[in-house]
């Protein structure tokens, strides 16, 4: 009997906050949606609460996520 594994989908998200590049991240799962509130953890340990304003697809596996300060 063979065990079938689910296909895992990895995406690269480039986050821009108020027009400035914030960070990029490789994520397994679904893309955020417009209007969704996200808490973004920065490299220095700071957490920034943002809202998704727009999502620009770059390729099948990469998207530019435009955020606004909450």
Of 28, 38, 30, 26, nearest to 67 by C-alpha is: 38
pLDDT band at 4 (very low <50, low <70, confident <90, very high): very low
Q: How far apart are CA 55 and CA 33, in angstroms?
A: 8
pLDDT band at 8 (very low <50, low <70, confident <90, very high): low
pTM score: 0.80
pLDDT at 43: 87
Strands 37-41 and 20-28: unpaired
Strands 62-69 and 10-17: parallel
- Greatest CA separation found in the chain? 52
Per residue in 17-67, pLDDT (tens digit) is 999 999 999 998 888 999 999 999 988 999 999 999 999 999 999 999 999
């Amino acid at each position: 009997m063979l065990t079938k594994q689910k296909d895992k989908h990895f995406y690269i998200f480039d986050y821009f906050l108020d027009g400035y590049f914030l960070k990029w991240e490789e994520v397994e799962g679904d893309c955020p949606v417009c209007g969704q509130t996200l808490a973004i953890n920065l490299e220095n340990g700071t957490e920034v609460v943002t809202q998704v304003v727009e999502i620009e697809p770059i390729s099948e596996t990469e998207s530019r996520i435009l955020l606004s300060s909450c």
